[in-house]
Amino acid sequence: MPRVVVTRPIPAAALELLAKHAELWVSAEDRPLGVAELHEAVRGADAVVTLLHDRVDDAFLNAAGAALRVVANVAVGVDNVDVEACRARGVIATNTPGVLTDATADLALALILMVTRRLGEGERLLRRGERWSWSMTFHLGRGLGGKTLGVVGLGQIGTATARRCRALGMEVAYAGRRRAPADVERELEARFLPVEELLAVSDVVSLHCPLTPETRHLVDGAALRSMKPSAFLVNTTRGPVVDEGALVEALRAGVIAGAGLDVFEHEPDVHPGLLELENVVLLPHLGSATVETREAMAVLAARNVVAVLAGEAPPTPVT
């Protein structure tokens, strides 16, 4: 039987599938393995199921050795995987697109509503036991109807987020490496803009691009200053797409109106400046965190492993 290493506990349905085809080693502890532990664990593996905090680089691949055929990342993002290094050794890298689209778009929408309607602030006010009374001017947020959603990266999750925002009466514009298919543009009545222009015209900017060397700090101080002072930034992709220090400064100075963040530059740490601000909503990377989605992600990763071990093409290779 081939040896499959799973670096952290994953849903039972996926483990059951893997166990039918391989000898399994599953980390007993529900925490990220340290680098030395990870390298020790993967030694001699034919396949490794990784999570987004596991770094798959040359050192990992050296540690695993020549038997390794597939690295199945349980995430759509693959910024933790050196895909070129895998390719150079003939190791197939796979990810889990599609199955987390709705959960992540739901969460992006939740952040958009939370930050524009100041819902976190309202909840904190009640929990502090503060006196309050309904008035015409009490705790006003901003409406979304007729406003522009600027999507950076109109892939599956960006598109699903835009659909939800269209249902709220928003206009959609987008920027990205390439133009979306014509039917998607038509359905969303979406305008394709250069990213600088997108930032300048949007009322809500929602980030959905992958983290790559090109998108690291895409939203820096200058980008934030090019946004409207009334605009909001929402990030459900990867923290390093935003320069967190610059964002703290911008939020403090009123350069933009607020931010909704599910991801952080140095996860799991959160910039201390963000914790002090009222105009930011902070969530602990919950985009795909539903029971159904996590099971679907793990099962898809397991199907990728099983296919490669059987000499077949995996359902969702990283291309």
Which residues are part of the catalytic machinery?
238, 267, 285
Backbone angles phi, psi at 126, to 5 degrees: -65, -45
Strands 171-175 and 191-192, by their bridges, are parallel
Among residues 56, 70, 75, 307, the one that binds ligand DGY under rule CB under 6 A: 75
**299 interacts with ligand DGY by CB under 6 A:** no
**100 interacts with ligand DGY by CB under 6 A:** yes
Structure tokens at 254: 């009123």
Q: Provide the mask over 28-67, with x wherever binding to ligand DGY is found by CB under 6 A and - wherever it is not.
A: ------------------------x---------------
Strand arrangement of the beta sheet that strand 148-152 belongs to: 191-192, 171-175, 148-152, 204-207, 232-235, 258-261, 280-282
Among residues 176, 239, 287, 314, the one that binds ligand DGY under rule CB under 6 A: 287
**76 interacts with ligand DGY by CB under 6 A:** yes
Distances (CA, A) of 230 to 179, 185, 203, 206: 27, 26, 7, 15
Strand arrangement of the beta sheet that strand 70-73 belongs to: 23-26, 3-6, 47-50, 70-73, 92-94
**240 interacts with ligand DGY by CB under 6 A:** no
Site for ligand DGY in 246-265 (CB under 6 A): none
Distances (CA, A) of 195 to 7, 34, 191, 207: 37, 38, 12, 11
Nearer to ligand DGY, 51 or 144 (CB): 51
Nearer to ligand DGY, 77 or 158 (CB): 77
Q: Which stretch binds ligand DGY (CB under 6 A): 69-77, 193-201, 241-249, 264-272?
A: 69-77
- List the one residue out of 68, 87, 78, 60 whose CA is nearest residue 3: 68
Nearer to ligand DGY, 97 or 258 (CB): 97
Q: Which stretch binds ligand DGY (CB under 6 A): 20-28, 72-80, 138-146, 191-199?
A: 72-80
| Separation between Cα atoms, residue 185 and residue 208, nearest integer Å | 16
Binding stretches for ligand DGY (CB under 6 A): 52, 75-77, 100, 287-288
